[in-house]
Amino acid sequence: MKQTIIFSLSGLHCVSCALNIDNSLEDLPGVLKVQTNYPKSQTKVEFDPQKITPVKLVKIIKSLGYNVLE
């Protein structure tokens, strides 16, 4: 079973920022696919909710120095 969530972000300054998020989240157990769109300042994550939660994803994104908008 997979779920998809889209996070609106602030603090993205360039394509490298988007790649940093993608690379950091893709390595997490339970994350199936990550696609960060720099122009839209959004990250789309497909994940297995039995292995990782949206709260954990937000914590990881924030630990990288980006803000997740509510």
Q: How large is the average pLDDT for residues 63-68?
A: 96
SS (H, E, C) 38-54: CCCCEEEEEECCCCCCH
Domain ranges of the chain: 3-69
| Domain 3-69 CATH assignment equals 3.10.20.30 | no
Residue 1: the pLDDT is 86
Q: What is the pTM of this model?
A: 0.93
Confidence of residue 45 (pLDDT cuts 50, 70, 90): very high
- Can you tell me the distance from the alpha carbon of 57 to that of 63, in angstroms, rounded to the nearest whole number? 10
The average confidence (pLDDT) of the chain is: 95
The dihedral formed by the CA atoms of 44, 49, 52 and 57, expressed in degrees to the nearest 10: 30
Residue 25 — very low, low, confident or very high, per pLDDT cuts 50/70/90? very high
